[in-house]
């Protein structure tokens, strides 16, 4: 038997500010799709200047990817270092206090300082270079700064055009948090762009019951479930805008949502406008009431799917090369 | 009234035949009653193959260098001159859809920051950064750059999983398809450095051989004339300099004699010493002279070629270097790799010592240099291209705050360091390879490179 023949599944790039648990659920959903060989999670980057957020996202990524191995590395956490870090939800901090039966931490936070992270735009560029032609896509849930900065790197615009097929943007409010970046991405992103308005997420809230039943049944001590449970008082139904974006981006041919073509612009007042037109270069999604149950079932099934570690053809390294040397006194 | 005429910086001792010896920086070269002329900044790259045992390379701390890691112990006397940089990455060394061949890629892209084309016949790289600098400032010295090495290797064929040998056996690239093969033979380098640039006629060669005359004999008249015009400090400096040339000459003669006795059929140029350390010493002594006499400001040095399977019998290691580095975490194999890593550093340390003890202006020659010692892979067993082993030795014209272990952010492009070095060399460019900015902060004590 030979491995490595043909193109692998499309690479998914996910960039978010992780202001809501929706984004963590979207990461879980993408990994669920990866488990079904429908995509490969290329890299997850953080558009918020906050080490706690980057630390949690990094931990979740390591949870899904398993330890670093020979010829199979875990990408470093990419985190922006400009802008306001904002308030961090207890969902991204409290799980770190959980202990195993032997008293050791259940989840290890390896991000203590900026040096433990990488520049997100550089990471996006680097991982994009490793994608086949038109065999990747982007999901953006938050301000567009990381993508906009990457566009300014030499050759990246051509690379995006050559290697990726589409960009799906989740939510309007967070996207507009950096108006410069929003305008730049809208004007210069060289692939089709789809918008998922916040209403789509509000219309199909994530069921708290899935956190309590499906997640633990499939994977004990799931860090996304732990974050959800600590995010706010359970039970609650989180908005699912980022989940919708991730699902649509990966399964574009499945009729989960209604799609309308038009043009999106950022006005002088900083608000987003959408004008429907057949010749527009953007697409906007809306909920199809008849498909709500189908969409919800897909969210739960994929986000809570049993974790499948990436296949390896060589034994894992004895030592994880990612080390944080202590600061000398 | 100022009457004394300054000696030109690019003065030569010339003699009969083809001899032409550049001079070190002398006080007489600084015009009287003016501030001393500033010594130029030089840079050199010492590339070692097959990555590094990182557990013995990286310190377990950051900040001031105190206890040196095991591999770097030979450099302990010079730790105040070392900047130990962590987390630099060459993304273009990674597979990026091209499959196997990390060795071919990592050396090919080491100084170019370009993803090389996987091919045996269609060679495609980029202009290496040393050549970008050489193109800008090379006219100021006799040689725009020198490309040197230690291991004889073919330039054609497949050297790693479909990557042409041109990628593994060269560091410097003049154009995207034209590498600059390293000079391995000390005699060839010597004649290049101290010849007039004109080839010697057979008669001249025979005459020199017959009388076993030193190159210095040919310039003795010029030397005497110059000495009569120099002050005591310059006189001493000139004597030391000429002695070092004579010493190199003797070493070459010895090597040639030994080679003739050991194995006349050996697959090496005639003047290449059989002993690794002796070969390094010869080459590095000439490098020091080249820098001292400002014959060049740019040197690339390929310790051995990437993927080298050279055995190190002098260390009691008959196994090939490359196979050993795929140690599968076996303790005995890992230990052998550490010994080879340390042996290489030991050779480099002898060069650093030479540079440190060579006076230039108020300081040492090393103060005006940037010597990069490193590899294109970090953990060779896993073929990692991040956190590449990199030390910068020398202060680059009293710019770098050395004596520290500093960390860049993870995945920081190695080309960021190159951009900073280009600035120091007086050859700034806006962009190079996959750089996303300059590696700022290296002139600031106690600052992380975030």
With an 8 Å Cβ cutoff, is A71 touching chain B?
yes
Contact A128, A163 (CB under 8 A): yes
Cα–Cα dist B49/B380, whole Å:
9
pLDDT of residue B178: 94
Task: Determine how many CB atoms are found less than 10 A away from the CB of residue A211.
Answer: 27
Cβ under 8 Å to B: A residues 110-149: 113-119, 121-123, 125-126, 129-132
Contact B274, B258 (CB under 8 A): yes
In a domain, A212, yes or no: yes
Which residue of chain B has the CA closest to A321? B379
Domain hosting residue A43, numbered range: 11-303
Cα–Cα dist B438/B435, whole Å:
7
The count of structural domains within chain A is: 1
Q: Is the pLDDT of residue A85 over 50?
A: yes
Give the position of tokens 């030499």.
A154
Residue range B371-396, pLDDT digits in tens: 999 999 999 998 999 999 999 999 99
Contact B173, B112 (CB under 8 A): yes
pLDDT band, very low/low/confident/very high, at A311 (cuts 50, 70, 90): low
Q: Is the pLDDT of residue B266 over 60?
A: no
pLDDT of residue A320: 41
What is residue A303's three-state secondary structure? Answer: helix
Residues of chain B neighbouring A82 (CB-CB closer than 8 A): none
For residue A250, the distance in angstroms to the closest alpha carbon of chain B comes to: 21
In chain B, % of residues over pLDDT 90? 65
With an 8 Å Cβ cutoff, is A321 touching chain B?
yes
C-alpha pair distances (Å), B283 with each of A87, A103, B153, B169, B222: 60, 58, 17, 17, 26
Residue A268 belongs to domain with CATH number? 3.90.245.10
pLDDT band, very low/low/confident/very high, at A3 (cuts 50, 70, 90): very low
The gap between the terminal CA atoms of chain B, to the nearest Å, is: 53
Contact B56, B256 (CB under 8 A): no
Which residue of chain B has the CA closest to A130? B96
For residue A79, the distance in angstroms to the closest alpha carbon of chain B comes to: 10
Helices (H), B212-330: 215-218, 220-227, 232-262, 276-292, 321-325
The structure tokens listed for A9 are 């599944």
- The per-residue pLDDT of chain B, averaged, comes to 89
For residue A176, the distance in angstroms to the closest alpha carbon of chain B comes to: 25
In a domain, A169, yes or no: yes
With an 8 Å Cβ cutoff, is B63 touching chain A?
yes
In a domain, A319, yes or no: no
Contact B321, B308 (CB under 8 A): yes
Residue range A146-191, pLDDT digits in tens: 999 999 999 999 999 999 999 999 998 899 999 999 999 999 999 9
Which residue of chain A has the CA closest to B58? A325
Contact A168, A26 (CB under 8 A): no
Contact A261, A282 (CB under 8 A): yes
Which residue of chain B has the CA closest to A115? B409
In a domain, A244, yes or no: yes
Cβ under 8 Å to A: B residues 97-116: 97, 99, 115
Cα–Cα dist B170/B124, whole Å:
13
In a domain, A325, yes or no: no
With an 8 Å Cβ cutoff, is A70 touching chain B?
yes
Residue B66 to residue A70, Cβ atoms within 8 A: no
pLDDT band, very low/low/confident/very high, at B352 (cuts 50, 70, 90): very high
pLDDT band, very low/low/confident/very high, at B247 (cuts 50, 70, 90): confident
> How many inter-chain contacts (A to B, CB under 8 Å) are there?
92
In chain B, % of residues over pLDDT 70? 89
Give the position of tokens 């195993």.
A100
Residue range A253-295, pLDDT digits in tens: 999 999 999 998 888 887 888 899 998 889 999 999 999 999 9
Cβ under 8 Å to B: A residues 4-43: 4
In a domain, A140, yes or no: yes
Q: Reply yes or no: is the peptide bond before residue B398 cis, omega within 30 of 0.
A: no
Residue range A20-38, pLDDT digits in tens: 999 999 999 999 999 999 9
pLDDT band, very low/low/confident/very high, at B3 (cuts 50, 70, 90): very low
Q: Is the pLDDT of residue B268 over 90?
A: no
The gap between the terminal CA atoms of chain A, to the nearest Å, is: 54
In a domain, A317, yes or no: no
Q: Is the pLDDT of residue A233 over 60?
A: yes
User: Mean pLDDT lowest for which of A108-112, B27-31, B115-119, B328-332?
Assistant: B27-31
Residue range B82-95, pLDDT digits in tens: 999 999 999 999 99
- The per-residue pLDDT of chain A, averaged, comes to 91
* Domains defined for chain B, CATH in brackets: 1-38+187-271 (no CATH), 39-184+276-284+294-450 (3.40.720.10)
pLDDT of residue B208: 63
Contact B348, B342 (CB under 8 A): no
In a domain, A178, yes or no: yes
pLDDT band, very low/low/confident/very high, at A316 (cuts 50, 70, 90): very low
Which residue of chain A has the CA closest to B408? A115
pLDDT band, very low/low/confident/very high, at B205 (cuts 50, 70, 90): low
Helix H or strand E encompassing B44: strand B42-47
With an 8 Å Cβ cutoff, is A313 touching chain B?
no
Residues of chain B neighbouring A45 (CB-CB closer than 8 A): none
Residues of chain A neighbouring B79 (CB-CB closer than 8 A): none
**B102-126 mean pLDDT:** 95
**B420-436 mean pLDDT:** 96
Which of B328, B410, B413 is nearest residue A116 as measured by Cβ atoms? B410
The structure tokens listed for B106 are 């990592």
pLDDT of residue B37: 65
Pick the closest to residue A187 from A157, A165, A162 (CA basis). A157
Helices (H), chain A: 21-35, 51-65, 120-128, 145-151, 156-163, 179-188, 198-203, 208-212, 214-218, 223-231, 241-250, 292-303
Residues of chain A neighbouring B411 (CB-CB closer than 8 A): 76, 118-119, 122-123, 126
Give the residue, B97 or B339, on which the prediction is more confident. Answer: B339
For residue A256, the distance in angstroms to the closest alpha carbon of chain B comes to: 33
């Amino acid at each position: 038997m030979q491995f490595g023949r043909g193109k692998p599944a499309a690479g998914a790039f996910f960039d978010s500010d992780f202001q809501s648990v929706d984004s963590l659920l979207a990461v879980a959903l993408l990994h669920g799709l990866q488990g079904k060989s429908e995509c490969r999670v290329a890299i997850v980057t953080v558009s918020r200047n906050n080490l706690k957020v980057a630390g949690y996202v990094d931990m979740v990524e390591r949870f899904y990817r398993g330890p670093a191995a020979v010829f199979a590395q875990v990408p470093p956490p990419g985190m922006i270092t400009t802008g306001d870090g904002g308030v961090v939800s207890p969902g991204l901090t409290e799980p770190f206090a959980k202990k195993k039966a032997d008293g050791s931490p259940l989840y290890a936070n390896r991000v203590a300082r900026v040096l433990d992270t990488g520049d997100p735009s550089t990471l996006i560029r680097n991982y994009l270079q490793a994608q086949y032609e038109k065999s990747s896509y982007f999901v953006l849930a938050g301000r567009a700064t990381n993508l906009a900065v990457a566009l300014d790197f030499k050759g990246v615009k051509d690379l995006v055009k050559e290697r990726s097929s589409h960009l799906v943007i989740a939510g309007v409010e967070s996207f507009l948090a950096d108006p410069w970046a929003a305008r730049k991405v809208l004007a210069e992103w060289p692939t089709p762009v789809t918008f998922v308005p916040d209403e789509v997420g509000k219309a199909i809230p994530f069921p708290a019951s899935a956190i309590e039943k499906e997640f633990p049944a499939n994977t004990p001590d799931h860090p996304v479930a732990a974050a959800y449970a600590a995010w706010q008082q359970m039970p609650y139904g989180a908005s699912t805008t980022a989940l919708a974006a991730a699902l649509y981006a990966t399964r574009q041919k499945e009729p989960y949502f209604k799609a309308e073509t038009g043009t999106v612009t950022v006005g002088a007042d900083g608000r987003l406008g959408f004008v429907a037109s057949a010749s527009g270069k953007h697409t906007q999604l809306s909920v199809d009431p008849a498909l709500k149950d189908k969409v919800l079932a897909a969210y739960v099934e994929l986000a809570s799917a049993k974790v499948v570690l990436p296949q390896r053809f060589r034994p894992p390294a004895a030592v994880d090369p990612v080390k944080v040397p202590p600061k000398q006194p | 009234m100022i009457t004394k005429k300054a000696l030109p910086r690019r003065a030569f001792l010339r003699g009969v035949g083809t001899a032409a010896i550049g001079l070190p920086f002398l006080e007489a070269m600084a015009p009287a009653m003016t501030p001393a002329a500033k010594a130029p900044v030089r840079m050199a790259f010492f590339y070692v193959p097959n990555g590094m045992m990182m557990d013995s390379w990286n310190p377990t701390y950051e900040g001031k260098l105190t206890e040196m890691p095991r591999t770097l112990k030979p450099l302990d006397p010079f730790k105040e001159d070392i900047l130990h940089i962590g987390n630099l990455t060459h993304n273009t060394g990674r597979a990026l859809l091209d499959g196997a061949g990390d060795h071919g890629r990592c050396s090919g892209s080491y100084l170019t920051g370009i993803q090389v084309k996987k091919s045996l016949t269609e060679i495609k790289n980029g202009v290496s950064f040393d050549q970008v600098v050489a193109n800008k400032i090379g006219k100021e010295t006799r040689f725009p750059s020198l490309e040197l090495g230690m291991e004889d290797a073919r330039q054609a064929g497949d050297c790693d999983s479909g990557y042409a040998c041109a990628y593994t056996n060269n560091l410097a690239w003049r154009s995207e398809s034209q590498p600059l093969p390293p000079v391995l033979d000390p005699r060839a380098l010597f004649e290049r450095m101290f010849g007039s640039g004109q080839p010697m006629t057979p008669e001249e060669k025979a005459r020199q051989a017959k009388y076993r005359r030193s190159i210095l004999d040919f310039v003795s008249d010029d030397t005497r004339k110059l000495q009569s015009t120099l002050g005591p400090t310059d006189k001493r400096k000139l004597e030391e300099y000429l002695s070092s040339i004579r010493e190199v000459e003797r070493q070459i003669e010895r090597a040639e004699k030994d080679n003739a006795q050991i194995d006349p059929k050996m697959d090496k140029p005639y003047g290449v010493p059989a002993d690794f350390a002796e070969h390094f010493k010869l080459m590095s002594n000439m490098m020091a002279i080249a820098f001292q006499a400002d014959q060049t400001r740019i040197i690339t040095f390929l310790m051995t070629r990437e993927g080298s399977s050279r055995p190190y019998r002098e260390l009691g290691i008959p196994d090939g270097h490359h196979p050993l580095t795929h140690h599968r975490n076996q303790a005995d194999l890992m230990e052998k790799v550490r010994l080879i890593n340390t042996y290489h550093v030991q050779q480099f340390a002898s060069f650093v010592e030479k540079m440190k003890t060579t006076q230039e202006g108020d300081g040492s020659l090393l103060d005006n240099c940037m010597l990069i010692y490193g590899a294109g892979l970090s953990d060779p067993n896993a073929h990692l291209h991040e956190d590449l082993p990199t030390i910068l030795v020398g202060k680059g014209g009293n710019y770098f705050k050395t004596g520290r272990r500093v960390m860049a952010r993870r995945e920081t492009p190695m080309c960021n360091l190159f951009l900073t070095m280009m600035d120091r060399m007086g050859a700034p460019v806006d962009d190079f390879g996959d750089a996303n900015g300059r590696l700022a902060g290296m002139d600031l004590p106690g600052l992380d490179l975030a």
